[in-house]
Amino acid sequence: MKPIKKVIYLSLIVATLIFFGFYRDFVFKSINALIRAWDDNIDYSMPTSLKFLENYEYSTLVNIKWVLTLLFAIIYLLISLFTVKILFNNKKYLLITIGAFIGVTLVSGLFIITGMVFHSISDKMYEFARYLMGMVQSPITLMILIPSFKLADRD
């Protein structure tokens, strides 16, 4: 790939990562604020673009957060795959990227299930799971994989 084309693609990737990072944060903070307001029995008005969420029930909002978590993880996986393809064009690295995302998601799911089984530690397990899922809903995984692949290419 020509260097100028690669720079353009990488610039678009960075812009996309920034957009989805801020958008994800905006959506989750808004939903969490609404849920917290309902918990505390206070009024809260959602931002205009998310106002429709006020019509859902509490449990539906919690389920929407689960769906959004997986959706954003998939978005970041796709961005990561595109980035790895641009930088390395190595099928093995693409498979490792997919494996990393699936692995982190499965470990997170294991923490959630463990918390459901052992109620005394459910808060800690949820906290760990949430932290791990935060990794696959951000550029962190990609920031770990790129240097790893660069080091692997040096051999």
pLDDT digit string (tens) for the chain, length 155 residues = 788 999 999 999 999 999 999 999 999 999 999 999 999 999 999 999 999 999 999 999 999 999 999 999 999 999 999 999 999 999 999 999 999 999 999 999 999 999 999 999 999 999 999 999 999 999 999 999 999 999 999 87
Whether the Cβ atoms of residue 30 and residue 82 lie closer than 8 Å to each other: no
Report residue 153 as tokens: 């290419």
Domain of residue 29: give its range. Answer: 3-154
CB 73 within 8 A of CB 80: no
Task: Round to whole Å and give the CA distance between 90 and 96.
Answer: 10
Cβ neighbours for 47, distance < 8 A, ≥ 6 positions apart: 26, 30
The two three-digit tokens of residue 92, written as one number: 């093995």
Find the helix or strand (DSSP H, E) in which 54 lies.
none
Domain count, the chain: 1
The DSSP code for 138 is: S
Task: Tell me the pTM.
Answer: 0.93
Please say whether the beta carbons of 99 and 84 come within 8 A. no
Specify the 3-state DSSP secondary structure of 139: coil
